[in-house]
Amino acid sequence: MPAARRNLLLVLVAALALGLLGGAYWLLSAPVAVEPGGPLASGSGANGTALESANSDRRGAVALVDEKDAPAAAEPETTVVYPLLVELELVKAASDLQADGAPRRGSSATARIKGSITDSNGGPVRGQVEIRAGPNAGRVLLCDGLGQFGASDLYPGRVLVDVTGPGVLGSLREVVLRQEREALLNIGYGRPASVIGEVYDADGNLLEGAKVTLDGLVTQTDAQGVFSFPYVASGETTCFVEKAGFASVFQLVPILAGTTIEKGRLKFRLQRGAKLTLTLNDRLNSGEPAKVFLLPSTLTAQRAYPWFKLNPVELYPGGTLVLDDLPPVRVTARLYHSGAVAKPAQREVTLDVGAPEVLELAMEPAPVVVGVVRWDGKPAERAEVSLEVPDRVAATLAGLGESNYLLLESEVMPDSPLAVQRVFTNASGEFQLSANEQISKVRYLVARSADGRAQGGVVLRGGEERVEIDLKPVAASDGNAVFVLSTSPRFQALPVQVTVAGTPRERVVVPAERDIRVGALVPGTWRVRVRWQGEELMKPQVIELDTEVTLSVKLPEGAVLGQDEETRRRAGK
């Protein structure tokens, strides 16, 4: 081949190679959206749905990707084993109601929970944890791809949680949530236990047909009063035993993994149930039911009856209600009704088997807040309206005549109407709530449309009798703020684990030369922590997040160079 043609060919090959390299560099440097994980905890307000990584050349925000629509992408290779931990805690949302000199709405929700769910092989379960009873009832926490869940904005108290997930038995557990503390709930379905038990009456006779619910699993006793569960997850499980004519029994049953609780070790004795008749002759606001809360007069007594299944009892003004199969103990009844106050505030009665009791409740008119909710100038039918005091924990304790918050751990108790009331508007958009100014002059009144697309709220400072609330569409920007974390230079990908308000996002591996971007955040005040291998990489930072805020952090050598082959092997990498 002539030298001229050979040189020309070499030039063309070199140009083609440079073109391919340039194209690869352009693809790698373009903004990339890392797929989000599964859905996050409902009702949190602060959580979003995407953790994304993008180039720091400020070409504009990348689109958040919905996992169900995004193709699976290969994870970038890296020798870094341990993830960078980025924690964002919402201090105050910009939309939160707050009166001068008073705590903001929701400020007493400071309890935290975290945990994980694993299957029979020890693998992660994309399950959910639903709070069924107690404070935060209705809240659902969803697990990420590692089976982890969490939240940091829960009201304190004892709660009952229902754990479910694909391919697992499920569980029904109790958890104690404490102010400024973190509760742990880890459930594994490997090495299940088997349980055999018996149910007797007070005379020692075996009972057939008693319903037994152990850790959410249900069976009945046979003709010999025996029940059995071949597979039960380990841990402190809940057990309910019920039979018509008898007072139900509740007990926490600790179960060790891989063991058998044999016949004769677990026995339940049911007592005949007592009867209580409630009457409410006063006909104030008779179109809505009053709520009666029944609890043991001594809350520190040993727990043996599932009071949360009973409370609250709904009783219409002018009506009578008969309650059967109650435990023979002394109980306190507390009556709450919109536009009324109980007189006296509470009544006590001692229940006895074979001696039915009648408890006559009375009430008198009390100040109310009435109003109307409108959307686009029209009445908003079936809008949910809530009225709550700034400190819900203190108000709940006040209703119990106590001040020690540890009392909230004695029973699974629903929200007190003194702390928060909820009603729905009628066809004319109207509502009525008790003013509750004796609890707090400052109160927060919030309305949300039936479809959740619009909301509005006002601060009540005392003396208001009629309030009008105009709903406004929930702005798309309310959940579109972005936090950006820029790291010191690195030449390889970095695994990242982000939690938002205690809820874990999907763990991702962010390519080199990309910033870590956490999207779908509500505007407001946030606290940011960054750690790697237990080392605090910067002091907790408080940021005011409106649309986008960037912080920088210097990575330790191990987060840049990675770990040796033996460490990666032990980590399964």
Residue 71 scores a pLDDT above 70: no
Classify the C-alpha dihedral 56-59-61-64 as positive or negative: negative
Residue 189 scores a pLDDT above 60: yes
> Cα(438)–Cα(440) distance, rounded to whole angstroms?
6
* 361 and 372 housed in the same domain: no
Q: Across residues 529-549, what is the average pLDDT?
A: 95
* 76 and 161 housed in the same domain: no
* 255 and 284 housed in the same domain: no
* 327 and 378 housed in the same domain: no
List the domain range (segments joined by +) for residue 402.
368-460
Lowest mean pLDDT among 210-214, 298-302, 328-332: 298-302
Inside any domain, residue 145: yes
Bridge-based pairing state of the strands 235-242 and 226-232 = unpaired
Residue 554 scores a pLDDT above 60: yes
* 299 and 225 housed in the same domain: no
Lowest mean pLDDT among 13-27, 160-174, 222-236, 428-442: 13-27
CATH number, domain at 157?
2.60.40.10
Bin 6: left if φ > 0, else alpha if -120 < ψ < 50, else beta.
Answer: alpha
* 394 and 320 housed in the same domain: no
* 455 and 374 housed in the same domain: yes
pLDDT, position 422: 93
Question: What is the band of 73 on the pLDDT scale with cuts at 50, 70, 90?
Answer: low
- Report in angstroms the alpha-carbon separations of 565 from 49, 308, 524, 559, 572: 34, 54, 43, 15, 10
Question: How far is residue 30 CA from its own chain's centroid?
Answer: 37
**Gyration radius from the chain CA atoms:** 29
Question: What is the band of 303 on the pLDDT scale with cuts at 50, 70, 90?
Answer: confident
pLDDT, position 202: 93
- 3-state SS, 49-68, equals CCEEEEECCCCCCCCCCCCC
Inside any domain, residue 505: yes
Both tokens of residue 347?
Answer: 């009544």
Last-in-domain residue among 338, 365, 392: 365
Inside any domain, residue 8: no
Lowest mean pLDDT among 171-175, 394-398, 546-550: 394-398
Amino acid identity, residue 186?
Answer: N
Residue pair 155/141 in contact (Cβ under 8 Å)? The answer is no
Inside any domain, residue 299: yes
Question: What is the band of 534 on the pLDDT scale with cuts at 50, 70, 90?
Answer: very high
Both tokens of residue 102?
Answer: 């008073």
* 374 and 448 housed in the same domain: yes
* 142 and 174 housed in the same domain: yes
Residue 49 scores a pLDDT above 60: no
Q: Across residues 539-552, what is the average pLDDT?
A: 95
Inside any domain, residue 452: yes
Question: What is the band of 76 on the pLDDT scale with cuts at 50, 70, 90?
Answer: confident
> Cα(537)–Cα(452) distance, rounded to whole angstroms?
40
Question: For residue range 391-421, what is the model confidence (pLDDT) as tens digits?
Answer: 999 999 988 888 888 888 889 998 899 999 9
Got the DSSP string for 147-190?
A: SEEEEEEE--EEEEEEEE-TTS--EEEEEEE-TT-EEEEEEE-S
- The torsion angle over the Cα atoms of residues 279, 281, 287 and 293, rounded to 10 degrees, is -40
Cis check: omega of the bond before 344, within 30 degrees of 0? yes
Count: domains in the chain: 5
The set of long-range contacts for 440-444, using a CB threshold of 8 Å and a minimum separation of 24, is 440/102, 440/389, 440/390, 440/391, 440/395, 442/99, 442/102, 442/389, 442/390, 443/387, 443/388, 443/389, 443/390, 444/97, 444/99, 444/105, 444/387, 444/388, 444/389, 444/390
pLDDT, position 476: 61
Q: What is the average pLDDT score of the chain?
A: 87
Residue where the block lists tokens 């071949």: 230
Phi, psi of 213 (to 5 degrees): -115, 110
Residue 374 scores a pLDDT above 70: yes
**Length in residues, the chain:** 573
Q: Across residues 306-330, what is the average pLDDT?
A: 96
Question: What is the band of 301 on the pLDDT scale with cuts at 50, 70, 90?
Answer: low
Both tokens of residue 238?
Answer: 């809940």
Question: For residue range 137-155, what is the model confidence (pLDDT) as tens digits?
Answer: 999 999 999 999 999 999 9
* 213 and 292 housed in the same domain: no
Residue pair 160/138 in contact (Cβ under 8 Å)? The answer is no
Residue pair 194/166 in contact (Cβ under 8 Å)? The answer is no
Last-in-domain residue among 244, 270, 296: 270
Query: In the beta sheet, which residues pair with residue 441?
Result: none
Q: If DSSP codes are grouped into helix, strand and coil, which group holds residue 143?
A: coil
Residue 7 scores a pLDDT above 60: no
Q: Across residues 41-57, what is the average pLDDT?
A: 31
pLDDT, position 54: 27
Q: Across residues 42-52, what is the average pLDDT?
A: 32
Last-in-domain residue among 270, 285, 315: 270
Inside any domain, residue 532: yes
Inside any domain, residue 356: yes
Question: For residue range 98-139, what is the model confidence (pLDDT) as tens digits?
Answer: 999 999 999 999 999 999 999 999 999 999 999 999 999 999
* 250 and 325 housed in the same domain: no
Question: What is the band of 498 on the pLDDT scale with cuts at 50, 70, 90?
Answer: very high
* 286 and 249 housed in the same domain: no
Inside any domain, residue 14: no
pLDDT, position 475: 72
Q: Where does 180-316 show beta strands of DSSP type E?
A: 182-188, 193-201, 211-214, 217-220, 226-232, 235-242, 249-255, 260-261, 267-270, 274-280, 290-296, 313-315
Residue 269 scores a pLDDT above 50: yes
Supply the pTM of this predicted model: 0.85
Give the residue with greater pLDDT, 301 vs 280: 280
